[in-house]
């Protein structure tokens, strides 16, 4: 049967280009009222899929058999399809199935993008130059906007603040770097082959893009750029042979990189911090096992592998990593910090969906690489070679980012994985026959229905993200002048999504709102519900402890405080509260136990100070307490707080002994220990007063006066008593002027005896 107006070939090229343009503008969607930019982007993609699928279903009554054949013959399509299906199987093993549903819907959106654009672009490779131009224009605008935003922030604040605030279009600095890096292959291939008349524009675009990337200081992106230039050189020398012209064409594109390095280097030198924003050379040198972020990532990978080992068949459930990883990290991450992602998509997929599916996902990348390498080296058609190299470059960038970051569920990256797969699928040997078999297109309505279903769930995710945005604003403000109330949070609870992007349950935040509204029973109710969704943070028990304490139930408060602490033994807030309750119960054994646990994982001076304070309040044996503090000082010899605490306790001990000697009228021994107390803590106003009264009672008024005046220098006393005795000392040494001065000060502080002295001596 001959091609006719009924088949897919009749769909206008211009419509296809419009659909491609609509796909690539997701980085410019507004997202100011959402916590995560991914949610409005996925909703947009679900809607776009529905429009495209409906258009194909209505416009193309028939499709050509070679179009469906491309999918049927493609290992890439089948591996991706199996991967998606196996991700769905992880429903069976997931503790939180709503997280599986959310991520599975996002994979279905990606699958529909792949199918839709494979059908649209099959036999339309003549549109590739226009597609490349669109990608380059998007890259130009995206980087230009980011640099403008950077310049504006730099003028208002500082370079460091401006650098930290990059990623206006993506919400994350590493995702920004990756989303720009994955557009560089289009710029390079456009310059070398597809867009010879647009080379000046492409060089300017490359300059803007690489400058933005270098300013993000993203190491993965920099490594990917190096690999891209190696592949680009290989492409040039393979297509054009090794000659002077090819070398010049290759080196021309090194010029923007050299300019970029100079520009970004001069900017980074002015940044005030020495961590991420350092020179490019230093940043690359940080890629070693001694670097803190690298070590943290290696620990996270180890945890992820252990999680996968514990659930080898189906994993913990797609999307469940951010919840199920928390117990593995409780002795590694401070306070309430969690990883959310393992910074390696291959490991994360393995942990979430099982070893077999992890192997399938990894194999997808290997297959794409092998297929395109074969086409590049074996084909004698330059168009086939060029598209193969473009696909190869894309999979290298995406693969590198997958190894070291988490691009999988980021729409700005996911669409380029879809492009990589569909370019590989449609880059086949062109048929010269004018005859094609037409097939009925009724099956495409299934894609329409599936796309419409994804709109529903993506919209629920969008609403949940909008609610999370408001919750996080209230949380950041300490729940003062809140936008929401507990009742409003419950009213707006998502229909299926039960956790925030940061893994906490929405119920947990509802409980916190009710706690701050003094609705303790409601708070307990929703905190208990939250505990069934994510019990690993410890914050639920923290608030239950506060609620029990408010209700006067100290035993329950102590139990909840301990549960919170032992769930997150590196959390300084939980540690502080739990030791306070232990002190209230005079449980010094528990204080020491918690101190040992905390310092085992996070040995900091503050931990020793907190334990010492609580032990001191329990009237813990002073000698043992001093030994405890001395251990802390050995750990942190330069810490002033521990040294001060030791001085305070030693001074109190000496004062007690001095007072004991005074009671038995051993004044010499008393003075000895007063002086020891003063030596231990020379800036202690109370010790000065003790010595002042000691000499006052001995009628040594000059010595007494000196200590009283030093006490007043060290601290302001509100009672007026100290000033009264200063005045008496002056009176005893016949200095009525100063005596009256201090009697008046004492009287102004309402010290009753001062008034009579003024009447008697100051008229």
Distances from the Cα of 676 to the Cαs of 501, 515, 645, in angstroms? 58, 49, 16
pLDDT for position 434 = 47
DSSP letters spanning 472-509? HHHHHTTSSS-S--HHHHHHT--SS--B-TTS-BHHHH
The CA angle 546-552-557, to the nearest 5 degrees, is 40
Residues 683-763: name the CATH superfamily: Tetratricopeptide repeat domain (1.25.40.10)
Strand pairing class (62-64; 438-440): antiparallel
pLDDT for position 421 = 97
pLDDT for position 3 = 44
Alpha helices in 427-568 (DSSP H): 444-476, 486-491, 506-516, 520-533, 539-550, 554-567
Residue 59's SS3 state is helix
The DSSP symbol for 423 reads H
Residues belonging to the chain: 763
Buried b (16+ CB within 10 A) or exposed e, 81-102: ebbbebbebbeebbebbbbbbb
Is the separation of the CB atoms in 203 and 256 below 8 Å?
yes
Is the separation of the CB atoms in 308 and 347 below 8 Å?
yes
* CA trace torsion 633, 635, 636, 637 (10° rounding): 60
pLDDT for position 287 = 55
pLDDT for position 185 = 96
pLDDT for position 594 = 96
pLDDT for position 340 = 87
pLDDT for position 245 = 73
Task: Read off the pTM.
Answer: 0.84
Is the separation of the CB atoms in 569 and 604 below 8 Å?
no
Beta-bridge partners for 64:
438
DSSP letters spanning 175-244? HHHHHHHTTHHHHHHIIIII-GGGHHHHHHHHHHHHHHHHHHT-HHHHHHHHHHHHHHHHHHHHHH-SSH
Is the separation of the CB atoms in 557 and 543 below 8 Å?
no
**Residue in 376, 391, 377 with CA at minimum distance from that of residue 228:** 391
pLDDT for position 289 = 54
Residue 71's contacts (CB-CB under 8 Å, 6 or more residues apart) are 77, 115, 118, 425
Indicate the domain borders of the chain. Answer: 683-763
How many Å separate Cα 308 from the centre of its chain?
A: 23
Q: Which residues of the chain have pLDDT under 50?
A: 1-6, 284, 432-434
Buried b (16+ CB within 10 A) or exposed e, 689-725: bbbbebbbeeeebebbbbbbbbbbebeebeebebbbb
């Amino acid at each position: 049967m001959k091609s006719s107006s009924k088949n897919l070939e009749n769909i206008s090229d211009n419509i296809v280009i419009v659909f491609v343009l609509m796909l690539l503008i997701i980085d410019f969607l507004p997202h100011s009222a959402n916590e995560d930019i991914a949610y409005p982007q996925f909703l947009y993609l679900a809607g776009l899929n529905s429009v495209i699928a409906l258009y194909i279903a209505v416009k193309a009554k028939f499709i050509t058999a070679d179009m469906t054949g491309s999918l049927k013959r493609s290992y890439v399509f089948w591996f991706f399809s199996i991967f998606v299906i196996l991700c769905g199987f992880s429903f069976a093993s997931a503790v939180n199935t709503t997280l599986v549903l959310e991520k599975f819907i996002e994979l279905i959106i990606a699958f529909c993008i792949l199918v839709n654009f494979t059908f649209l672009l099959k036999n339309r490779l003549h549109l590739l130059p226009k597609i490349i131009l669109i990608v380059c224009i998007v890259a130009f605008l995206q980087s230009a906007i980011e640099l403008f935003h950077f310049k504006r922030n730099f003028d208002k604040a500082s370079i460091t603040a401006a650098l930290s605030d990059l990623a206006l279009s993506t919400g994350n600095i590493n995702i920004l770097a990756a989303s720009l890096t994955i557009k560089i292959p289009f710029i390079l291939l456009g310059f070398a082959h597809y867009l010879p008349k647009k080379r000046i524009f492409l060089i300017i675009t490359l300059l803007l893009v690489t400058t933005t990337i270098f300013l993000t200081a993203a190491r993965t992106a920099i490594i990917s750029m190096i690999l891209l230039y190696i592949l680009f050189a290989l492409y040039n020398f393979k297509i054009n042979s090794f000659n002077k012209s090819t070398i010049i064409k290759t080196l021309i594109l090194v010029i923007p990189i050299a300019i970029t390095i100079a520009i970004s280097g001069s900017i980074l030198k002015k940044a005030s911090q020495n961590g991420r924003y350092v020179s490019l050379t230093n940043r690359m040198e940080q890629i070693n096992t001694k670097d803190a972020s690298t070590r943290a990532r290696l620990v996270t990978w180890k945890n992820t592998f252990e999680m996968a080992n514990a659930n080898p068949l189906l994993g913990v459930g797609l999307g469940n990593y951010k919840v199920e990883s928390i117990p593995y990290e409780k002795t590694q991450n401070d306070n309430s910090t969690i990883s959310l992602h393992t910074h390696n998509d291959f490991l994360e997929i393995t942990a979430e969906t099982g070893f077999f599916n992890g192997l399938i996902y990894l194999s997808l990348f290997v297959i794409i690489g092998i297929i395109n390498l074969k086409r590049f080296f074996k084909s004698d058609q330059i168009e086939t070679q060029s598209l193969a190299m473009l696909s190869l470059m894309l999979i290298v960038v995406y693969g590198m980012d997958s190894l070291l970051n988490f691009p999988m569920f980021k729409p700005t990256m996911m669409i380029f994985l879809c492009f990589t797969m569909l370019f590989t699928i449609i880059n086949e040997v062109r048929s010269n026959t004018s005859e094609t078999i037409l097939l009925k297109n009724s099956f495409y309505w299934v894609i329409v229905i599936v796309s419409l279903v994804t709109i529903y769930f993506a919209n629920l995710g969008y609403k949940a993200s909008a609610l999370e945005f408001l919750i996080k604003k209230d949380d950041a403000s300490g729940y003062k002048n809140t936008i929401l109330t507990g009742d409003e949070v419950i009213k707006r609870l998502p229909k299926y999504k039960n956790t925030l992007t940061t893994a906490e349950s929405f119920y947990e935040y509802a409980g916190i709102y009710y706690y701050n509204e003094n609705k303790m029973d409601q708070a307990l109710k929703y905190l208990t519900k939250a505990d069934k969704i994510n019990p690993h943070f410890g914050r639920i028990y923290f608030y239950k402890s506060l609620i029990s304490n408010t209700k006067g139930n100290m035993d329950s408060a102590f139990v909840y405080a301990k549960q919170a602490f032992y769930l997150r033994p590196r959390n300084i807030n939980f540690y502080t509260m739990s030791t306070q309750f232990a002190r209230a119960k005079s449980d010094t054994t528990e204080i020491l136990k918690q101190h040992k646990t905390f310092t085992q994982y996070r040995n900091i001076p503050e931990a020793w100070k907190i334990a010492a304070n609580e032990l001191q309040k329990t009237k813990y044996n002073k000698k043992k307490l001093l030994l405890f503090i001395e251990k802390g000082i050995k750990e942190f010899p330069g810490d002033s707080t521990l040294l001060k605490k030791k001085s305070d306790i030693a001074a109190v001990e000496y004062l007690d002994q001095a007072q004991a000697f005074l009671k038995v009228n051993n004044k010499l021994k008393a003075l000895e220990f007063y002086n020891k107390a003063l030596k231990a803590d020379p800036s202690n106003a109370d010790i000065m007063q003790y010595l002042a009264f000691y000499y006052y009672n001995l009628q040594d008024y000059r010595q007494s006066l000196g200590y009283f005046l030093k006490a007043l220098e060290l601290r302001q006393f509100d009672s007026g008593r100290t000033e009264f005795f200063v005045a008496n000392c002056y009176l005893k040494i016949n200095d009525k002027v100063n005596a009256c001065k201090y009697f008046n000060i004492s009287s102004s502080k309402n010290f009753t005896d001062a008034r009579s002295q003024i009447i008697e001596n100051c008229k």
